[in-house]
Amino acid sequence: MDSFFLMGARPLVTESPSMKLHQLLDWAAIAGQLKGLYQREASGAGGPEPYSPLGMFKLMLLGQWHGLSDAQLEQALRVRLDFMVFTGFEPSAGELPDASTICRFRNRQVKARLEQKLLSLINGQLEQRGLKVQGARGAIIDATIIPSAARPRQHVDMQGDHPHVVDSADTQARWVKKGKHAFYGYRGHTAVDSEDGYVEHVQVHPANEAEISKLPEIVQALAPGVEAVLADKGYASKANRNWLTERGIGDLIQHKGAAGRPVHPLLKSFNRKIGAIRFKVEQAFGTMKRRFHLARARYFGTAKVQAQMYWAALGMNLLKAHNKLKRMEAAGVGAP
């Protein structure tokens, strides 16, 4: 139950973007997925009561939504009423979470591998509200380069019996050449639904790992009901086409030619039609990079960069749902 402070503050921020975002979700269901993040929950030991996992999750969501660093998020929570009402934290309750507390909570989530569960849960809630199409659909798959947060400086590590060359402080990032440019970092794979363009799955690998081998893994991670897979030539292989056919999934992967064997004109026409649908995944990448700061990794290591990509995907999905709800309200159509 809200305190007198929060009850008094709530009417002042009802129309704020943060509170509009708050109305989209069933927070009790999300809280059920956040159990067990603190060691104190398992041990039953005494000591100070940890910060509410749901409040911390909401705080991180605000940080993603507004593009704030942990330090900026700490400061915003101290001065913004809408942040306090959204998260349930307030100055009168004692010390507010600081930047290091936010960082530790993020690391707990990464260790617990909760990101895909939370993304699927929230997508399900958006479906129930009529903001996302339910049921069978096509999945559009693509990948993007996420440059590392570290500079790729080489040095020789003399620890141990066998010295070895280390490329960077971010030891899991790798080099890849794309076009005329070389990048040091990761390759982020995304699957969006072909109806609305909501992100349904992401996964991150070192940049030198080829796209072509990741398709079965991505499709298997999606919820049942995928009727067809749309993808560019980077995923085109006989093995991938056979894998889809064996499972009764439509093969809408673009075709590529080879030396001395150009693509047939009919297949070129097919490629153009697939390309006209694939814009939804390019839109998703654009929004995640521009609006939710995925243009560069913020952290070191595959697991943390993958968590960053999930947060960007979650932010994009909520932004899409928020905008769709506003259009429905303007048209006088209420979401279920």
140 neighbors 277 (Cβ within 8 angstroms): yes
Cα dihedral 279, 280, 286, 289 sign: negative
Please return the burial class of 160, using the count of CB atoms within 10 Å of its CB with bins 0-12, 13-18 and 19+. exposed
Q: How far apart are CA 296 and CA 289, in angstroms?
A: 8
Per-residue pLDDT at 1: 47
113 neighbors 204 (Cβ within 8 angstroms): no
Tens of each residue's pLDDT in the chain, 336 residues = 466 556 656 666 677 777 778 888 999 999 999 988 887 665 555 556 788 999 999 999 999 888 899 999 999 999 888 888 889 888 776 678 999 999 999 999 999 999 999 999 999 999 998 899 887 679 999 999 999 998 777 655 556 666 666 667 898 999 998 888 899 999 999 999 999 999 999 999 999 999 999 999 999 998 678 999 999 999 999 999 999 999 999 999 999 988 788 888 999 999 999 999 999 999 999 999 999 999 999 999 999 999 999 999 999 999 999 899 888 888 876 555
Per-residue pLDDT at 205: 97
User: Cα 306–281–308 angle (5° rounding)?
Assistant: 20
Per-residue pLDDT at 90: 82
Per-residue pLDDT at 91: 78
Per-residue pLDDT at 13: 63
190 neighbors 287 (Cβ within 8 angstroms): no
For 262-273, write each residue's pLDDT tens digit: 888 999 999 999
142 neighbors 285 (Cβ within 8 angstroms): yes
Query: What is the radius of gyration, based on Cα positions, of the chain?
Result: 22
Contacts of residue 212, Cβ cutoff 8 Å, sequence gap at least 6: 234, 235, 236, 237, 240
Half-sphere exposure of 77 (CA within 13 A, CB side): 28
Q: How far apart are CA 154 and CA 333, in angstroms?
A: 58
Q: How far apart are CA 73 and CA 64, in angstroms?
A: 9
Give the CA dihedral 211, 214, 215, 216, nearest 10 degrees: 160
pTM of the complete model: 0.88
Per-residue pLDDT at 270: 94
